[in-house]
A and B are shown apart, each in its own frame.
Chain A
Amino acid sequence: MKLDDLINGVVFLVLGIGIVAYAQSLPTMAQIEYGPGFLPSIVGTGMALAGAALIIARIWKNVGIVDGWFAFNGNGLRGLLGVGIFLAAIVFYILTADTFGFLIVAPILLFVIVYWFERRWKLAITVSIVGTFLLHTFFYQIMKAPLPWGILIEYSGALTW
């Protein structure tokens, strides 16, 4: 999603000013002249100035112009949906993994992504099963990362190979 540099500049100008304002709200100590707000003030000021520089370059030198203020550098609607698939897959995992467990959510996620891009359902099913098996084996069984079991908790013993 490419934005016109005027928009990018304004975003960082405002964000920089916001950081400076926030830094002023941080407490200071009498003995220490440079407290917790010191670096945020510098960073905020720098960001605001760099944002302003983007705006100036855009207006004076016509740098970073995008027709219609923003452009999508992708394959149209299909590209947008392609980004959406990955976004939705991660959000889906966040929302459902604790309830349903890794072994149910991961194959669904893999199937949807592979099927969307490859349009081969046999391949998508194979990858979803083998991929889940490999990642679960590596992270849960070998690396001992506590991947969620969800509703499969009662079968965790049988499902640990």
Chain B
Amino acid sequence: MVAYDSLMLLLEPTTLAVILGCAVYGLVVGAIPGFTATMAVALLVPMTYFLDPVPALAGIVTLAAMAIFAGDIPGALLRMPGTPASAAYANESYLMAKRGEAETALGVGLVASALGGVFGALMLIFAAPMLAEISLNFSSFEYFWLACLGLVAAIAASNSTPAKGAISLFIGLTIGMVGLDPVMGQQRFTFGNINLIGGLAFIPVLIGLFAVSEAFRFGAKPVERPDILPMSPKSLFVGVFSHVRRLKWPVLRGSGIGAVVGAIPGAGADIAAYISYAVARRSSPRKAEFGTGTVDGIAPATAANNAAVGGALIPATVFGIPGDSLTAVIIGVLYMKGLNPGPTVFIMQPTLLYAIFIAFLIANIVMVPLGFGAIVLFRRILSAPPGVVMALVTLACIVGAFAVENTTFAILVMLAAGLLGFYLEENDFPLAPVILGIVLGPILESTFLASLAKSQGSFIEFFSRPIAGSLGAITIAIIVVPLLYSTLKRRRRKI
């Protein structure tokens, strides 16, 4: 019954139009090198502000799925992955394209992406409610450790040094603290400015960090694009299905890896693709072909990054803990739409939530025809003058930040966040921990204080419940183990 009601919600003309529009938008932005999926979502968020929850969130998850696939296209034809998630196998598909097998690389990639995405969506539909049932017994102690785990894992999974990851995280937590504190309603970091009492608005900060910073980077050094390798769309699906049939088990394994890795807080689609590629390489009977351009490397890895999106939505919806920066944004939108993530949302508003999950499933199925269209039109997408695209992005940023807050101050916040994002990226500070800090900071503080009040100030209580204790141990291990490992390594080297 819930499934039927959810489907009916999706079949409304506005919802269908939003999903289709977001699919096309995601494919176009994902296919342009230099634009990230998070930037595409950041620009979309102000538009969804004015929509009902189902079309808004269905649009965002559709966009996420499409952008991750579309990143494969410039990876194969330009050797420039459209999004970081495609980096693991961009070389493999480029080498195939150079041999004149671009159609096979992209065709197999498209079908494997769709299969991985469907696997991730099914995992989400079936695993999330089960996990929600278990987590109904969670108290503030478990949520505190989950928030800590998300933050620590975000640093561990970032490509930068732990010190720089930590600084990014602390910047995010500081941004999240601006406004009234949750205990006394005391003003913090407002410095007498009435615009700051309500806190720094999430959307202008998000747009600044991920889209305005992109404009600055483009201004400093426009992305240079090499020549596009030739490709004939007519033969895109020739021989593809025999490859997919042959690779069904590696694709399934890659999808499983993707869904699980995606669900781990901090690890995203790019890490899932790298792990899946490495596992496929180790277990393949055609090991020697890896690194020379083979679909055996592409299919499992591209299935993994698409499955990871569904996986990352599991902790995001069940606990409100983001798996990566993309899901951090989705959590922000869930709060904005009154669908506060957590196990109770599965009981209170199952129809809305399942409508979003089903939209994600459908998005991964229609990815095949729409993705085909994106591959065919890739040359045309890339012919859009980058200066025009960036000018429109900048104006959309300004209008988007203004539209949700109705104040010029929001544009100022966006500009400051843009400069911060530009500075951070230029100096190799990762951006994902910043956004995770903003989303998780308030949860961390309120659950910590609620837990302390319950335990009457005793810290032992934080470890005395079995799940809370295990989560606490994992969190501490993520911090301590790498430190111990590097100290031991240094000592051994001295000996």
Contacts and interface: CB of A to CB of B under 8 A. Distances in A.
B226 interface: no
Interface of A: 1-3, 5, 8, 12, 16, 19, 22, 26-27, 29, 32-36, 38-40, 43, 46-47, 50-51, 53-54, 57, 63-64, 72-75, 79-87, 89-91, 93-94, 97-98, 102, 106, 109-110, 113-114, 116-118, 120, 123, 127, 131-132, 135, 138-139, 143-147
A34 B449 contact: yes
Interface stretch (B121-129, B170-178, B250-258): B170-178
A64 B235 CA distance: 48
B249 interface: no
Given A82-B218, A94-B408, A135-B399, A36 B188 contact: yes
Interface residues of B, number: 64
A159 B388 CA distance: 25
Main SS class of interface, A = helix
A52 to B, nearest CB: 9
5 contacts: A29-B183, A36-B183, A39-B445, A54-B163, A114-B388
Contacts of B403: 139, 143, 145, 147
B480 interface: no
Interface in B164-192: 164, 166-167, 170-171, 173-174, 177, 181, 183-184, 186, 188-189
Interface of B: 47, 49-50, 161-164, 166-167, 170-171, 173-174, 177, 181, 183-184, 186, 188-189, 212, 215-216, 218-222, 385-388, 390-392, 394-400, 402-403, 406, 408, 411-412, 414-415, 418-419, 422-423, 426-428, 441, 444-445, 448-449, 452, 457
Given A63-B161, A82-B221, 13 more contacts: A29-B184, A35-B181, A35-B186, A36-B184, A36-B188, A43-B174, A46-B170, A47-B174, A50-B163, A54-B164, A73-B220, A135-B392, A145-B406
Contact of B186 (A27, A79, A135): A27
B392 A145 contact: no
Contacts of B395: 106, 109-110, 131-132, 135
Contacts of B396: 135
Contact of B388 (A72, A97, A127, A139): A127
Given A50-B166, A50-B167, A123-B385, A131 B392 contact: yes
A27 B185 CA distance: 11
Nearest to A131: B392
B390 A117 contact: yes
A110 B394 CA distance: 9
A114 B387 CA distance: 5
B456 to A, nearest CB: 10
Given A39-B173, A123-B385, A147-B399, A8 B394 contact: no
Contact of A22 (B189, B222, B388): B189
Contact of A110 (B49, B386, B391, B427): B391
B188 A113 contact: no
